Chain A
Amino acid sequence: MAAEDYSDKELLEKFRNPETQHYAFNLLVKQYSKRIYWHVRKIVIDHDDANDVVQNTFVKIWKNLGEFREDSQLFTWIYRIATNEALSFLKQKKTKFMIPFGDVEYELSNNLTADTHFNGDHIQLKLQRAVLTLPEKQRLVFNMKYYDDLKYEEIAEILKLTVGGLKASYHHAVKKIEKYLLEH
């Protein structure tokens, strides 16, 4: 059986049972690993960095799933952990390489052309560079809305923001990208 065949509640019950804990966790990994990976990849850009963040995310899920209070969906809880891990990673990168705040995205943008795991055309390249010019929160909202097609309510749960604020953020993000595409 696959994870989607179980409700969040059933999956959690299996996880809390020591005998089925690993089984339940493996189901969870199989269901969410790909999705979490692409979410993280769009934030950190580089594949190896994304891989590290994904590993850390699931280890954290393993450690804390037993205490999940079920006050949100399991999926949004997992997404939140992944988002926080990706943002922490970027912050560490700024500190480690003494890059000024905001210039990390500039560095990521420059690395796009050298990235062996980037196969977009010049339009896609321009779009990615445009997205990397957005402020951190707007970039997240844009990625989750534009690429992942999440509902504002889900994004609100993940980012702990209001739906209205998210709509405004998305709107501003789209406008900025359009302007960038027009000017470059």
Chain B
Amino acid sequence: MEADTNKDKELKEIAPILASIPKEVPFTVPANYFDNLSDIISKNVIATELSAIPKENPFAVPANYLDELPEMIALNIAATQLEGIPKENPFSVPANYFERLNSEIQDKVIASKRKEGFDWVGLLLKPKFSLSLITVALALVIIFKFSTNHNINNDKFAFSMKEVVNSGELNDIDESTIIETLSANNKPNSIPKQGEIEKYLLDNNVDESQITGQL
């Protein structure tokens, strides 16, 4: 107390204005600041202790786990989304499809086995091949027929003179013409006399066309 009184005296002597001002601290603090200050300081201290601990990760993961993790997450998300979609089959088939399917498969199996030997039937069924074959066959037929007709026409020549003679056509042909024709064909020795023309033509197989050509 005495010391305080001395201090006040000393202050009044050297600084009277200062000594007259109330010794108050003019600052304030937020409400409950000091009530919470101890807790705040303790938390700070704990945080400081934690920060002093080396930040090493004591945990390990399987090899490539982190590299594959994004993909696994994406798959899981996709699976979750798929779960929300009803499992319905949106496709349909023609009527009695499955009933017929078995027999169709069997047929195809058999058909495939045929292909192992030469498939003549299949070949014949091909339009191009069959068309070519038909064309060749027709050509052969035409050639054959043509050659047959030619022989028949030669025989006609053999009978035609007889027919000419029998039909009396010779009567229409001038005898001098017939004789000239025969002479031109170098048959002088046997030039028939008139009246013997018919017999001569028949006996000597004279080509009718030589005579008829003069008409």
Interface residue ranges, A against B (CB under 8 Å): 22, 25-26, 29-30, 33-34, 37-38, 41-42, 45, 47, 51, 54-55, 58-59, 62-63, 115, 117-121, 123-125, 127-128, 146-147, 171, 174-175, 177-178, 181-182
* Chain B 13-50 interface 0/1 with A at a Cβ cutoff of 8 Å (1 = within): 01111100101111111100110011011101100100
Contact residue among A22, A118, A171, A182 (Cβ-Cβ distance under 8 Å from B27)? A118
A47 to chain B, nearest CB (A): 6
> With the chains together, A51 CA to B14 CA distance in Å?
35
Contact residue among A55, A147, A174, A175 (Cβ-Cβ distance under 8 Å from B25)? A147
Contact residue among B11, B16, B26, B30 (Cβ-Cβ distance under 8 Å from A120)? B26
Whether A33 contacts B17 by the Cβ 8 Å rule is: no
Interface residue ranges, B against A (CB under 8 Å): 11, 14-18, 21, 23-30, 33-34, 37-38, 40-42, 44-45, 48
Q: Is the interface of B mostly helix, strand, loop or mixed?
A: helix
A-B interface contact total, Cβ < 8 Å:
90
Contact residue among B14, B17, B37, B45 (Cβ-Cβ distance under 8 Å from A62)? B45
19 sample A-B contacts, Cβ–Cβ < 8 Å, listed by A number: A33-B41, A34-B37, A37-B34, A41-B25, A54-B37, A55-B41, A58-B45, A59-B44, A115-B27, A117-B28, A117-B29, A120-B27, A121-B26, A125-B26, A127-B18, A128-B26, A177-B18, A178-B16, A178-B18
Whether B44 contacts A55 by the Cβ 8 Å rule is: yes
> With the chains together, A35 CA to B15 CA distance in Å?
27
Whether A117 contacts B27 by the Cβ 8 Å rule is: yes
Residue numbers in B under 8 Å from A127 (CB-CB): 18, 21
> With the chains together, A37 CA to B41 CA distance in Å?
12
Contact (A58, B44) CB under 8 Å given A117-B28, A124-B24? yes
The 4 nearest A-B residue pairs measured at CB: A120-B26, A178-B15, A124-B26, A58-B41
Beyond A47-B27, A58-B44, list 4 extra A-B contacts (CB 8 Å).
A25-B42, A42-B27, A59-B48, A117-B30
